[in-house]
A and B are shown apart, each in its own frame.
Chain A
Amino acid sequence: MTTPYGAMLDSLTRLRGIRGVLVVSMEDGLVVAESLMAGMKGSPIAALSATLATRVAELTGSSGHGLPRFLHLQGGDGALLVAPAASDLLLVAVAGRDVPLGLLRLEMLRMAERLT
């Protein structure tokens, strides 16, 4: 990890059950920085997260609730968490099954505030 975000991402991946964490450009869905478990590919996670975040922003915007602050997609085998940040960036985490997400959410929200 050589990007300026390295230490931040590594601190999240140390949390139990986290498969990977990324900083993603929301506009083009590209990886800005990543810290992933072996075998995981950052590009599809980035693209899918950015598309989903864009859709959700349209949804909250169209319903008069402004921009989303945090997204949590819960599946039977894991979860995708997205915290929009400044400068059109997203902080994205992929978690495994049965991971306590409260601490992760708080950490992501805190870090998203620092992302520029």
Chain B
Amino acid sequence: MFSELARIALLGGVLALDRSAGWNLMLGQPLAGACLAGALLNPGPQWELWALRIPLGVGVLLQLLLTDPSLPAAQRPRDTATAGVVGASVAILCLERLHPYLPLTTGGILWVLVGTMAGLLASVAGGWMEVPLRVRNQLSARRGEELLLEGKLGAFEALYWRGVGRLFVRGATWSAAATVAGVAAAAVILPRAARLVTGPRAGLIFAVLLGVAYGAGYHTHVRTPRHGLRWAAVGAIVLLLILLRSRGGAS
């Protein structure tokens, strides 16, 4: 568990830098975070199929659900960078530890659901944690200005790099802590609710959540842009024609 947490923390720290320090290379998006966490935590050949599909499922759902088409000033504070890492990590660690208690035929879907829920909650809680960080940054900025007026450029640079380090440490500790909390909560709740956790029930909730994710995607990609519906219809028709043609060719 320790080496897994160390990998989660490292990844969470790097993704927090991408989101908050200004790299903005897209690493901090849930799809990238979840898939990278899945690749880092791959539990081995006995879980091969699901262990790599679960982070993909978690990443896709979180990517659609956490993409807000509002301008940044109008967005709700959500920590999208670590949400993917936490969601995928919780799902994979739960799969390894709790699968014997919940041996469903649709086991993969259950862990995607668990991971997505963990990721959504982590994004909300991580967003709240931005507030004290901003206050701390404000104090550091004032101190930096004082250092510059004193002509201490080296000290200003060191102060700034400490701010970068703080972002990394915050992302790393939050990712690891949220993962531990998520796995612990699942370990307490799921075995006790094993009777309630059935394949059809997991499938129903998954279908609803997938629908909500596609509804959010529709809101982002089709409704928000001008003429979005027209272009979405063109895309749908083109792909439908390709699929029909390929089916005709195959038969």
Q: Do A and B come from one complex?
A: no
* Chain B contacts to A: CB under 8 angstroms: none
**Residues in A lying within 8 Å of B, measured CB to CB:** none
